[in-house]
Amino acid sequence: MQTEDKHISIFYYILITAAVIFLDQFTKYLAIEFLEPVGTYPIIENVLHLTYVENTGAAFGMLKDARWIFMIISSVAIVALAVYIALQYKREPYICVCLALVVGGGIGNMIDRIAYGFVVDFVDFRLINFAVFNGADSFITVGSAMLIIYFFIETIKDERAKKASGATSDTAGSADKSDEKLSTPLDNISDSDSKAVAAKGKASGDSGKKSSSGDGGAEL
């Protein structure tokens, strides 16, 4: 069961989300002001360019011309994740930080869709022929990757804990069986065996008494 951290404030997650939105919108503003007139600017020729693109689809240019669909999906996802953060930020701080990155990126792209009818993309990796993307896409990807890594590590920890628990149970079971084996010979002695041992003891006692009586008569 997760314990609550009383020192964590919801303000931290609001600050993370706000910082993501600010960075995303600021870089897009620069792209509109300086890249739109020139189209593209090479940082490293044929490797990394800054290219102005108006994306009407989803992240990384997928499914173009589906603005309203993505606005609805994004709105529902953003609200759901925000509610989760509000409810769980003290119990799951790491997960909520990851989700704050995702929410910030989602809101950043949502602002573009509402304001312009498209999303401004400008990061262009030409070496691998990758789709042009923006800061919001990067934050969404980083937050999602951090979540995947977290759950992967937690799964490994759970598996190791189960194996360790199973090994401990096997050791305890072996010890119990050893105790049972040691106690079995005494427990398995039957009533007839006990009576036989008692009878032999009595017979030995009677013989001893008779011998003592005989010896006394001879002396007289």
Task: Write down the pLDDT at residue 60.
Answer: 57
- The answer to whether 193 is a known catalytic residue is no
Inside any domain, residue 131: yes
Question: Per mean pLDDT, which range of 21-30, 52-61, 165-174, 179-188 is the poorest?
Answer: 179-188
pLDDT digit string (tens) for 176-198?
665 565 555 545 555 555 555 55
Q: Give every CB contact of residue 121 below 8 A, 6+ residues apart in sequence.
A: 51, 52, 53, 54, 55, 61, 131, 132, 133, 134, 137
- The answer to whether 112 is a known catalytic residue is no
Inside any domain, residue 211: no
**In 3-state terms, what secondary structure has residue 119?**
strand
pLDDT digit string (tens) for 107-160?
999 999 999 989 999 999 998 888 899 999 999 999 999 999 999 999 999 999
Q: What's the total number of domains in the chain?
A: 1
Neighbours of 37 (CB within 10 A): 8
- 136-155 as b/e, with b when 16 or more CB fall inside 10 Å? bbbbbbebeebbeeeeeeee
**Which two three-digit tokens encode residue 218?**
């001879």
Considering the candidates 24, 112, 124, 137, report the single residue annotated as catalytic: 137
Inside any domain, residue 213: no
Inside any domain, residue 204: no
Mean model confidence pLDDT for the chain: 81
Q: What is the value of pTM for the model shown?
A: 0.71
In whole angstroms, give the CA distance from residue 146 to residue 205: 86
Range of the domain at 47: 10-163
